[in-house]
Structure 1
């Protein structure tokens, strides 16, 4: 597997993991059946991967995923032959809009919290994160640059990510 493929898989996995609860919650809210929701979530995940080349990095992944889930739910509802009560299209659109609005607010809060948390790091830590995640430097490149082992750099990055996650969670809890 090429490193670009690995990078794409890793990026998709991270985005999917971050949006899972919101996307699954939306699907379940529309269907009110756990088994159907799980099936539709799996189908949506497959569609998201198939269409991942169309996703614009830097845009809100969750919003994009919710739109795909919406159409997947609609297709599922059309294919059902059992007599079931589903929400009208206008209700589904309103629920989708509320999920999207919540997603946008949460993304804004998270971005603001991340910014504040990054400012609490030392300049050296900020530079390491910038090199790794903005410039795309590999752990191997960073290790060579810092004259450290790859394991040491990977450990520092892991600790920084955990520290940022803890800080973001605290900031968001305080903000609510």
Structure 2
């Protein structure tokens, strides 16, 4: 028995952010990571009859993403500093642990906690992680010193981590 094409696409879309992050960890380029995710999705549609179930899909997709990422790096003239194969193997193990978490719930926690940040912190986080700007670019855009941008990001990270941990604890105790 195998999954159908629609199930393959739904499964990959559900774990899209996770898979793109995994690819990015290898290629260090968000645009390339997105392109490679699309390639993996097309490949999953093509080979859906070889994928047994949703759990197998995620493992298969990660393996395909890894292979596509390494292939893309080999084809590039400029290769960014990349992870060694043994580090990627360790990363694969860590991703298995991450797979056990409820990513939808974690994303909800993050969204909720992002709204609790100050408008300035929200803007800096957005510029860094959504727009993909460097600290120098953010500093120029917001009229601040580079050091101040990094201090702001560090505070935002701490606040988000604390907020998400509190949300997890409340959920564990039935007080979400």
TM (norm. structure 1) is 0.53
Residue pair 2:40, 2:65 contacting (<8 A) in 1 also: yes
Measure the CA separation in 2 of the matches of 1:173 and 1:96: 30
CA RMSD of aligned residues (A): 2.8
The alignment partner of 2:96 has SS state of helix
Q: What is residue 90 of structure 1 aligned with on the other side?
A: 86
Could you tell me which runs of 5 or more consecutive residues in structure 2 were left unpaired when the two chains were aligned: 106-166
Moved over 4 A (4+): 170-173
Number of residue pairs the alignment of both structures matches: 108
Match for 2:101 among 103, 106, 112?
A: 106
Alignment pair present for 1:43 and 2:9: no
Q: 1:172 to 1:52 in 2, by over 3 A?
A: farther
> Post-superposition shift, 1:10?
2.6
1:31·1:86 contact (CA, 8 Å) conserved in 2? yes
Give the Cα separation in 2 of the matches to 1:173 and 1:61. 32
The alpha-carbon deviation at position 70 of structure 1 amounts to 1.0
Q: 1:16 aligns with which of 12, 15, 21?
A: 12
Q: Which residue, 59, 65, 68 being the options, matches 1:63?
A: 59
Q: Secondary structure at the match of 1:106?
A: coil
Q: Report which of the two structures shows the higher radius of gyration computed on alpha carbons.
A: 1
Q: Cα–Cα, structure 1 residues 41 and 172, in superposed 2: closer, same or farther, change >3 Å?
A: farther
TM-score of the pair, normalised by structure 2? 0.53
Shift of 1:90: 0.9
Matched, 1:79 2:75: yes
**CA shift for structure 1 position 23:** 0.8
Deviation at 1:63, TM superposition (A): 2.0
The answer on whether the counterparts of 1:19 and 1:61 sit within 8 Å (CA) in structure 2 is no
